[in-house]
């Protein structure tokens, strides 16, 4: 039962650099402070299998990468007729080997739950991988008990996001073997930092999550636009160790 804290980037800004080792690439230095990272660049462009292998070899044995599904699958094809893209993506990220954490499926705000489409895509995905998958829907139709049950039947976890589209979106749902918190910053998405009281409450929630017997609990800070993510993640790590 592990808590993984990280950011949606491993690039180090000058304000936090003194809190990381002084030698190595940014990824190497980052991975000696945090035990996980979310790869967002895969959403925008493919990376070679060899690139993922290189990243995996540069990090400690217990380090893990979550990887975001390409927008060609989620936003362009909207989970339809995308078998070739899914296979290419899974082949690429296999370069991470045992360091591959959850596959992150972030959906566009306009993509509603469609009863005959979504299970079809999840079935396709599960044909080719049994790896943990976490889904961040951004349309309100995804936040009801029926959808939660469907996600659970495919062993797919729903992300707990901040800010949340609906109240139910503040807590994890779906598959219970992994919990994934994704913090974008509020009130200004991608920019706002979380204060110490908010981080203390989050630390308590993450500790309680581990107490329920979940295999892994992830907490990723995506408020990277003005470098708040690493500052928040460093404080959260210290709170979790108390």
Verify cis geometry, omega within 30 degrees of 0, for the bond prior to 187. Answer: yes
Strands 173-174 and 133-136: unpaired
Give percent above pLDDT 90 in the chain: 91
Domain 2-241, second-level architecture: Alpha-Beta Barrel (3.20)
- The reported pLDDT for the residue numbered 34 is 97
Of 78-82, 113-117, 194-198, the poorest mean pLDDT is in 113-117
Sign of CA dihedral 179, 240, 67, 137: positive
pLDDT at 184: 98
Provide the edge-to-edge strand list for the sheet that holds 178-183: 160-162, 178-183, 216-221, 2-7, 36-39, 64-68, 100-106, 133-136, 156-158, 173-174
Element (H, E) at 133: strand 133-136
The pLDDT score that the predictor gives to residue 94 is 98
- Name the residue among 155, 160, 117, 167 with its Cα closest to residue 137: 160
d(CA 12, CA 7): 11
Q: Which two tokens stand for residue 49?
A: 């299998």
- Residue 8's pLDDT is 98
Give domain limits for the chain: 2-241
Are 218 and 177 contacting, i.e. CB atoms less than 8 angstroms apart? no
Residue listed under structure tokens 């980037």: 9
Q: Which pLDDT band holds residue 213 (cuts at 50, 70, 90)?
A: low
Confidence of residue 215 (pLDDT cuts 50, 70, 90): confident
**DSSP per residue, 211-240:** HTT-SEEEEEE--TTTTHHHHHHHHHHHHH
pLDDT digits over 68-97, tens only?
999 999 999 999 999 999 999 999 999 999
Over range 126-144, report the average pLDDT. Answer: 96
Listed in sequence order, the residues at least 6 apart from 9 whose beta carbon sits closer than 8 Å to its beta carbon are 37, 40, 224, 229
């Amino acid at each position: 039962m592990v808590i993984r804290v990280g950011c949606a980037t491993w690039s180090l800004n000058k304000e936090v650099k003194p809190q990381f080792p002084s030698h190595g690439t940014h990824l190497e230095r980052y991975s000696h402070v945090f035990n996980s990272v979310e790869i967002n660049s895969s959403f925008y462009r493919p990376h070679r299998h060899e690139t993922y292998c290189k990243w995996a070899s540069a990090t400690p044995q217990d380090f893990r990468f979550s990887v975001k599904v390409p927008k060609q699958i989620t936003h362009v094809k909207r989970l339809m007729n995308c078998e070739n893209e899914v296979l290419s993506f899974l082949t690429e990220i296999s370069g991470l080997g045992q360091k591959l954490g959850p596959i992150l499926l972030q959906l566009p705000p306009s993509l509603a739950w469609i009863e005959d489409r979504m299970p079809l895509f999840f079935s396709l995905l599960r044909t080719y991988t049994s790896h943990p998958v976490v889904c961040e829907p951004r349309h309100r139709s995804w936040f009801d008990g029926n959808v939660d049950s469907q996600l659970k039947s495919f062993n797919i976890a729903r992300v707990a996001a901040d800010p949340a589209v609906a109240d139910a979106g503040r807590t994890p749902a779906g598959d219970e073997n992994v919990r994934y918190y994704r913090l974008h910053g509020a009130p200004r998405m991608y920019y706002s930092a979380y204060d110490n009281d908010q981080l203390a409450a989050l630390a308590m929630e993450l500790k309680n999550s581990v107490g329920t017997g979940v295999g892994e609990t992830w907490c990723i800070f995506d408020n990277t636009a003005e470098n708040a993510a690493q500052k928040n993640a460093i404080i959260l790590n210290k709170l979790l160790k108390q």
